[in-house]
Structure formats: C-alpha cells, structure tokens
Amino acid sequence: MFKLMILASFGYAVLTIFMVLSRDYMDAFVALTITLIFIFGLSDVFNNKKSGIAHAMTGSIMGLIFEVYYVIALLASAFDNLINNGTFEFKPFLNFFIAMVLFIFSLYLFFHLRVEFKNKK
Amino acid sequence: MKEITIALMGNPNVGKTSLFNALTGTHQYVANWPGVTVEKKTGVLKWKDYNVNVVDLPGIYTLNAKSIDEQIARDYLVNEKPDVIFNIIDGTNLRRNLYLTIQIIETGVKTVLVLNQMDEVKNLDIKIDTRELSKRLGIQVVETIATKGINVDDLMKSALTQDEKIKYMIYPMDLENEFSSIQTFIQKNENLRSFSLRWLTISLSEKDPYAMSIIEKAGLSLPDISVHDASLRIAKARYDFIDSIVKQIEIRPKEMWTLTDALDHVFTHKILGIPIFISIMWMIFEFTFSISAPLSDLLSKGFDVLGTYAHAIPGWAGSFIGDGLISGVGSVLTFVPLIFFLFFSMGILEDSGYMSRAAFLIDRIMHRFKLSGRAFIPLLLGFGCNASAIMTTRTLEGEKERLVSVLINPFATCSARLPIYVVLSAAFFGSFGGFAIFSIYLISIFVALTMAVVFNFILKNKENSPFIIEMPRYKLPTAKGLGIYTWSRGKHFLKKAGGIILGATAVVWLLSNLPPNSSIGNSFAAQIGKTISPILAPLGFDWHVTLSLIFGGVAKEVTVTTLGTFANGNIESFLPTILNPVTAYALMLFALLYIPCAATQATMKMETGSYKWPIFSVIWGLSLAYITAFVFEKIAYLVI
Amino acid sequence: MVGIISLDICPENTRCILIESDLSDSLKSKLMSLGWLPGREIKVIRRAPFGDPTIYLVDSTEISLRQDESKMIKVEPLYPAPLSVVPKGTYVVLNFTAGKFFSDKVRNLGIEIGKEIQVLSDPSNCKILILANGKKFLIGHGMGQKILVKVV
C-alpha cells in the first residue's frame, strides 16, 4: 500500500502542477488537497498506524469524486461552447487525460483498499 | 374503503424519509404544519381495501418537547392520535433510538417498531434477536432496509395486528409510588379522559409545561405533588430498562474502526479538514453551475426561436406573446436546470452525512460572528434561493439566532442574481469574468457574516444557543431519494417564483410598450425610470439600469430580462453603451446588496411573524447597497 | 473531589465517566435523550481544527459540543488517561500518542514506558508539575496530553 500511496501522491501532484499551468487555480487547489491527503498518510503507514489506510481510502474517494466532477465540468463547458459558439473545444486535454488516468488508478486503489480494510477489521 | 392513518416517527438520520418515499412513492404532498414553517409531508398508500394516510413527523430524539420539531411531533401524537405509529429506528444504534420508543409506547398509541438499516447492521457484524425484542417491548418488530425497497404487506399486517397487553417494569417502585398519586388525580377528572393516562402522569411528574397547560385548560389546579429529580430519575430508569433489553438481544463485536471513523479521521483532520471542506464546497459550486450552463443555454436558444415564430402573429398580440410571454417564460425556465442541480448538490451533502461535518468544522468561525455551525446551512442554501433557505432556519433553536439568520440570508447572493453577474461579467470582464463572479460570492459571504455581528449587536442578543449536532454515519446517497428531494424543491421554487416572474415580465412588457406606438424611450417604463434615476445618477446608473433594478426588486431574474428588453435582444453590445467596467462592477455590488426579492420578503414575514423585518431589510439593504457602490466607485476611479 | 475534571480539558482519545452537568434544563434534557446520563462513558473523539467544537462518542452516537457547554460537564477520567487530566498521585507510564521523536525527548526527562512518576499539581490548562527520577520539573499541557498513564 505504501508504494501505491507514493504513486498516488505523485500522480495528483502532477495534476496539480498542470492545472496551475492552465490557470485553473481552484481545481488545482482540490488536486493539491488530495495530494496532501496521501502525503500525510505516508508517515502514518510508515509508522504502521491504522490511520494510514484512512488517508489512502479518503484520498481515493476524494480523487474519484474529483475526477468525475472534473470530467463532467469539462464536458459541460465544451458543450456550452458548442451551443454558444458552434465550436467544439475540449480543453485542457492534457489535464483531462491525466484525470482519466488517475480515475482508473483511484478506482483500483479504492477496491484494493476496501479488501485490505475489511481484513484489518 | 377503510381509512387508516399511520404516522412515521423516529430519530433524525434513521431513514424515515426513505421509508416514507417507499410507502408513498409519488403520492406525496408537502405543506406546512399549521402556524409554523416546518414541513409536513403526507402521502397516500392503497393497500388491499385500506386507504392509508401516511404522515411523516419531524425527526426527534425525545418527546420532551423543547424545540419546534419536538413540539409538533408530540402535539400530533397526543392530540390527533393516529391509528398506528411506525417507529423507525436505526438498528446499529439501538440504545439511543429505543429511548424515544419507550416514550411513544407510553402514549398508548399502537406502535410498530421498524428496525431499519439492517444492511449496515450486517456490515458491522451486529446480531439482533428481533423476536425477543418484540416480546420484551410487547410490540411488533419489522426489519427493513428502506433504501432497497420494503415489504408493504409485512408492515401493514403488523400495523393491523392487535398487540398483547404486557406490563412493563421500567420505573423503580419508589418512582411508581410517586406517580400513583398524580395518576389518581388524573383519573378523578373527566376532562382528562381523552389523554393517555401514562403519558400525562409521567409528563406531569416532570413538570412538563405542555402537560401542565393541559391541566390548566381543563380548569384544574395542579396537585401539590412534586417528584424530586424527576427528569433524571425517569431518564435513568428508561435507559436501565433499555440496557437490560439490549444486553439480551444484541451481540456486537468489540469496538471496531468503521469506514465512517476512518473517513472522519481525515475529513475532520486538524490540518486537512479545512482544505477538504473548501475543496468540496468548490466542487459543489462548480458542478452546479458548469453542468447547468449548457442546459440553460439550450433552453434559452430554444425560446429565442419560439419567440421569433410568435412574431409571425401580426401586431400587438405577436409582440406581447413573443417578447412578453415567451420571453418571460423562457427567463424562468432557463433557471430550472440551475435550481435543480443546486438542490441536487445540497441533497448529496445532506444525505451523505458530510453536512454535519461541515457545520462542525466551520462552527468556530461562525461562532465568532455570533452564529452557530448550523446557521451555515441556511446561509449556504441562500446561495441557491434565499426564499427557501430562510425556511430552513426553523432548525435553529434560539429565537434571536433564527432572526439574525433570516436577516442576513438575503446577503447570500442567490442563484437568481447570477444572470446579472454573468451578463455584466461577459460584457465587461472577458476571461476574468469567472473571477469577478467569484469575488462577488466572497464579498457576499463577508457581508453576510459581518451583518450577523451587526444585527446581533442591534438586537442585543444575549442569548447563548448551544450547539449539539449529531455526526451520522456516512452513507452513499440513493438516486431515488435524491430525485424525489430535488424534484420537490425545484417544483416548490418554480411555483413560488414562476408566477411572480411571469407576472413581472408581463408588467415590464406592458410598461415598456405603452403608450402604444411609442418607442422604448418614451414608454411608461422609461418615464418611471427617468424620474427615479437622478437618485442613482451619482452611481453612474442611468434610467435603464434604474428601471431594471426596480423591476429586479420584485424578482431578481427580471433585472436581466428588463435590460434585455431595452437591448432588443443584444445585451452584450447594449451594456457598454450605458456602463463602464467600474460602474458595471458597482452594479454587481448594488444588485448583491440592495433588497430581498418579493418571494424572500414573503418568507421573511412568514418566519418572523411580522412585516417589520422585511421592511427593515429593504431599507437597510438599499442604504448599504448605495453606500457600498458609491465608495467602491470612488476608490476604483482613484486607483485606475 | 479527587479526579473530577471538566470535559473540556480532556484531550482526544480520553475516555471518562459522566458525573454530573451544570447546564440548563433544556440542554440537559436534550443530552439525556442522546444517552448522556451519569455513569455513562464518554469518549473524546476529535477536536475541530480551530480548537472548538469537539466530537464526543456516547453509546454509538457521535455528537459535537462547544467548549461553552463541555466546560459545564463534570467527568472522571478512565485509565489509561492522558497525564494532563489526572489528579495528584503516583502513576506508571503506559504509552505515548506521539512518535519516536517525542518519546526520545521525554526519556531525557525521566519519563519512560513502565516507569513510575508522580504528579504534584492539579489538572488544569497550564503546566503540570512532575516528579520523576528524583527531579521536579514542569511539562507543558500539550506534552501532557500525549503521555498515557495508569494509577498505581
């Protein structure tokens, strides 16, 4: 789980940076928060505290919610553009792509953690 | 057809609403309990040859009524005496839930215990001996998972089965002895026959104000019997009784860490808690507005097209239908997606259980402004619609706090004002438009909180309202529950606001198009605007703006449609002719602060019971708006 | 009375027994219906980021209370209890709720798991007077919260 959390922290940190670069500051804030959730959990896992898995769980759930929200928001604004200006612009595409990757990753992480959580009980 | 009335009672968060929805489906009717603004939900269910009236009572922890919700539930139970009570309890939390059960049973009404959330009970590895529970309490017990559908037959059969009368040994002998003298007193009096003996006896021994008022109304004077420490001894006896039952019927594994505990560890984390809070609030906000935007735009374009067809009808009528009616209806309906998604988001916050955590996290800050964390919710809802948000202030317990919450609510900029900001931002601020709008929202929060302190000071509020909020288990909201909630709230808004807006648009059209055959500049509307506009001239607002603001006072949505009427449909190019970026932002500030709309004033009157407060709001708002816009412009012109 | 303190000074993870409360009737009634009766166990779950309110657990129900109310509620801590809430007496150190860094720091003061120490001051929000390894010294309230002890 430790390795997965490091991956997650890295992934969301990357997303944060790209969002900042595309001037999407509030969404970057959310991505940053999720990154922090994972990072804070790392020390707990390292010390073998049960709260480590809490961080991982919460991080993955927030991540999933965030990705769903983000994709919907992007699609909606793309359609809005279509309706108003007649052009279909789907951007920023890179962020969308990273978000999709993280979504699949978070989904995997969530199910993996669910099993681990049940066993720890 | 036999008639039967069943009332639903239980703690908050046990799934009462799910059960109600499952029983009544779409045959629901929402009104208010008489004289108050607490929601009364009733519904109908047809079962065999019975016509079942289902009443959903407010969620309460005890019948010892101190809050409005408790009073309503108690009054209904004691006075209207439904045929059956479905007491819904949370299977994972028997002890606390059964406290209310005992009180209900003591009122003598036929009770069926609905043991809900059995799925969670299973998840937590808890085992409950339902049959033994039924035996010990002497009432029928039905297990349910209300969110997954219920077995109506089981429930109805239990409702109609006659219970065997059993004797409860709840209170110790010394307490019973003290009860008996009160009991004899009651039994001697004819007028008290209609009340449940047990309930009245115990309530009187606790010196419950309502019970005492019943005695007074019956023209009797209270016997000089006092039971010392009554409330405490009674509560203790009840819990001891409950403990003995639960020990026998429940097996639960040792304290374990549930998913809720784990999530709370992070959601209420010292450092992460607030960033998470901000993130969630932002996502809800963006989700609501982003997703509704294309739908609103689609609708708006659709109505434009309809409008042009209407012009095919010659003359006056065509214009009225096209520019008046269709335009008016269009302006109402384009907000429907927004309203629906806003209430959808609110529903998610509430149902998931996060709302309590949000109130918990933000309470300290709210308390600084003399409000409680609970007041955060009406304030947050105010960003959707002030009129309906004000109705949720009923959950606040202190009178003064409720009043303050009502008064500050209009400063939460509602969704109806959003088009004003959107249109102005689009015309003047380009890519910073979103930021401009967000800044208005921040200012709105700041003003609302500051006003809370100011109003508290003015009202000399010395009252201290305590803050006790339950943190329920986290739950995944159900689609059905969300759907019903969103639909009913959206419909409610439409009904209230729709008529007003339509009417207002018609009035605007009339005033703008009379005298007949005159241009816009010579219409009645223009004359009104021109007469009043000198007052707003120092702010850089001309008569077009003045008139829009006047009409907007009736319903904020109309502000934009009024401007649209002047612009003949092309608002974006019209606005720069009458405003500049500084005055545009000042206008946004003015619209934020000036007066609550007609619907809001109506609910203000309803909640506070007098016209004094809506009138005060209007005067206060106008002054504040004027001064703020003025000061802003002065500073802006200096800086730029 | 020995050992009785107000609920508001109990740090997270403290378990205690409710003794009595000095609150208004309506508040008492509300709390009672939620299971807050004398003799019941209260567990302090979480303090909000700004220090107030605090979430408490009684009988499977979590509720949050402000300090304004919790300071009126008298409780008796259960052991193992944090050092910051125990009355004067002799105790054995059971555990720390902080990491290695913390335990090294307090070892230098003579506070080690398994060792006996004496508390010479009453529980309060200020410093605690300790006697350990023959030396008297003061430790901060925050530190005291992280040391779990049992009465000897």
Domain ranges of chain A: 2-120
Tens digits of residue pLDDT in B420-442: 888 888 888 877 777 888 889 88
- pLDDT over 60 (residue B299): yes
Task: Work out how many domains chain C is built from and give that number.
Answer: 2
Report pLDDT for B520: 59
Q: Which phi and psi (to 5°) does residue B267 adopt?
A: -65, -25
Q: Is residue B222 part of a domain?
A: no
B293: nearest CB among A57, A65, A76: A76
Kindly report the nearest CA distance between residue B153 and chain A, in angstroms. 35
Of B379, B389, B391, B388, nearest in space to B281 by CA: B379
Lowest mean pLDDT among B140-144, B166-170, B397-401, C21-25: B397-401
Report pLDDT for B554: 72
Of B143, B152, B140, nearest in space to B121 by CA: B143
- pLDDT over 60 (residue B142): yes
Q: Find the mean pLDDT for residues C68-93.
A: 88
Tens digits of residue pLDDT in B320-359: 676 667 766 776 677 677 767 877 887 888 888 898 898 8
Residue at A105: amino acid letter:
F
pTM: 0.81
> Measured between CB atoms, does B299 come within 8 Å of chain A?
no
Confidence of residue B624 (pLDDT cuts 50, 70, 90): very high
B394 versus A78: which is more confidently predicted? A78
Nearest CA in chain B to A67: B283
Residue at B539: amino acid letter:
L
Q: Which phi and psi (to 5°) does residue B196 adopt?
A: -65, 125
Tens digits of residue pLDDT in A48-103: 777 888 898 899 999 999 999 998 888 888 887 787 777 777 767 788 888 888 88
> What average pLDDT is seen over chain A?
85
B279 versus B598: which is more confidently predicted? B279
Interface of B with A in 257-296 (CB under 8 A): 257, 259, 261-263, 265-267, 269, 271-272, 275-276, 278-279, 282-283, 286-287, 290-291, 293-294
Contacts of C134 (CB under 8 A, 6+ apart): none
- pLDDT over 80 (residue A111): yes
Give chains near B: 3+ CB pairs under 8 A. A, C
Count of Cβ atoms closer than 10 Å to residue B159 Cβ: 21
> Measured between CB atoms, does C113 come within 8 Å of chain B?
no
CA distances from B401 to B370, B453, B459, B464, B604 (A): 8, 11, 10, 9, 14
> Measured between CB atoms, does A73 come within 8 Å of chain B?
yes
Of B231, B13, B219, B193, nearest in space to B116 by CA: B13
B8 versus C104: which is more confidently predicted? B8
* Burial class of C122 by CB neighbour count within 10 A (0 to 12, 13 to 18, 19+): exposed
Count of Cβ atoms closer than 10 Å to residue B441 Cβ: 16
Q: Is residue B221 part of a domain?
A: no
Strands C73-77 and B469-470, sheet pairing: unpaired
Do C11 and C71 share a domain, yes or no? yes
Lowest mean pLDDT among A24-28, B488-492, B512-516: B512-516
Q: Is residue B424 part of a domain?
A: yes
Q: Is residue B19 part of a domain?
A: yes
CATH number at residue C68: 2.30.30.90
Q: Which phi and psi (to 5°) does residue C57 adopt?
A: -115, 120
Task: Print the domain residue range for C35.
Answer: 5-77
- pLDDT over 50 (residue C1): no
Report pLDDT for B397: 61
Confidence of residue B499 (pLDDT cuts 50, 70, 90): low
CA A25, CA A95: separation in Å to the nearest integer?
13
Task: Work out how many domains chain B is built from and give that number.
Answer: 2
Q: Is residue B105 part of a domain?
A: yes
Do B506 and B634 share a domain, yes or no? yes
B276: nearest CB among A33, A57, A84: A33
Do C69 and C89 share a domain, yes or no? no
- pLDDT over 60 (residue C64): yes
Out of B9-13, B203-207, B395-399, B597-601, give the one with best mean pLDDT. Answer: B9-13
Q: Is residue B39 part of a domain?
A: yes
Omega cis (within 30) before B477: no
Calculate the CA dihedral of residues B562, B566, B570, B573 and round it to 10 degrees.
-110
B279: nearest CB among A29, A76, A82: A29
Buried (b) or exposed (e) across B199-238, using 16+ Cβ within 10 A?
bbbbbbbbebeebeebbeeeeeeeeeeebeebbbbbbbbb
- pLDDT over 60 (residue B99): yes
> Measured between CB atoms, does C97 come within 8 Å of chain B?
no
Q: Find the mean pLDDT for residues B229-250.
A: 86
State whether B231 and C28 contact (CB < 8 Å): yes
- pLDDT over 60 (residue B59): yes
Question: What ipTM is given for this predicted complex?
Answer: 0.93
H helix and E strand count, chain C: 4, 12
Which of C28, C55, C77 delimits the end of a domain? C77
- pLDDT over 60 (residue B10): yes
Outline where DSSP puts E strands in C2-58. Answer: 5-6, 15-21, 41-47, 54-58
- pLDDT over 80 (residue B54): yes
State whether B271 and C49 contact (CB < 8 Å): yes
> Measured between CB atoms, does A43 come within 8 Å of chain B?
no
State whether A54 and B263 contact (CB < 8 Å): yes
Report pLDDT for B502: 67
Q: Where are the alpha helices (DSSP H) in B398-518?
A: 399-408, 418-428, 433-458, 479-513
Residue A98 near residue A70, CB atoms below 8 Å = no
- pLDDT over 90 (residue C56): yes
Which of C77, C93, C115 delimits the end of a domain? C77
CA C29, CA C10: separation in Å to the nearest integer?
23
Residue B469 near residue B374, CB atoms below 8 Å = yes
Of B440, B385, B383, nearest in space to B412 by CA: B383
Count of Cβ atoms closer than 10 Å to residue C52 Cβ: 20
Tokens 């500084």 belong to residue: B582
> What average pLDDT is seen over chain B?
81
Q: Is residue B267 part of a domain?
A: no
> Which helix H or strand E contains B381, and what residues bound it?
helix B376-382
Q: In chain B, what percentage of residues exceed pLDDT 70? A: 87
Q: Identify the residue among A1, A29, A37 best suited for mutation to test binding to B, counting B beta carbons within 10 A and taking the highest.
A: A37
Of A50, A54, A55, A35, nearest in space to A102 by CA: A35
State whether C69 and B269 contact (CB < 8 Å): no
Do C73 and C94 share a domain, yes or no? no
- pLDDT over 90 (residue C119): no
- pLDDT over 70 (residue B534): yes
Q: Which phi and psi (to 5°) does residue C90 adopt?
A: -105, 135
Chain B residues with at least one Cβ partner in C under 8 Å: 61-62, 64, 66, 92-93, 95-96, 99-100, 231-232, 235-236, 239, 264, 268-271, 273-274, 356, 360-361, 363-365, 367, 373, 464, 466-471
CA B259, CA B263: separation in Å to the nearest integer?
6
Which of C47, C77, C107 delimits the end of a domain? C77
Residue A52 near residue A41, CB atoms below 8 Å = yes
* Burial class of B430 by CB neighbour count within 10 A (0 to 12, 13 to 18, 19+): exposed
Do C72 and C118 share a domain, yes or no? no
Task: Print the domain residue range for B147.
Answer: 2-160
Which of B140, B160, B180 delimits the end of a domain? B160
Q: Identify the residue among C50, C54, C58, C69 best suited for mutation to test binding to B, counting B beta carbons within 10 A and taking the highest.
A: C50
Q: Identify the residue among C12, C25, C42, C61 best suited for mutation to test binding to B, counting B beta carbons within 10 A and taking the highest.
A: C61
Q: In chain A, what percentage of residues exceed pLDDT 90? A: 23
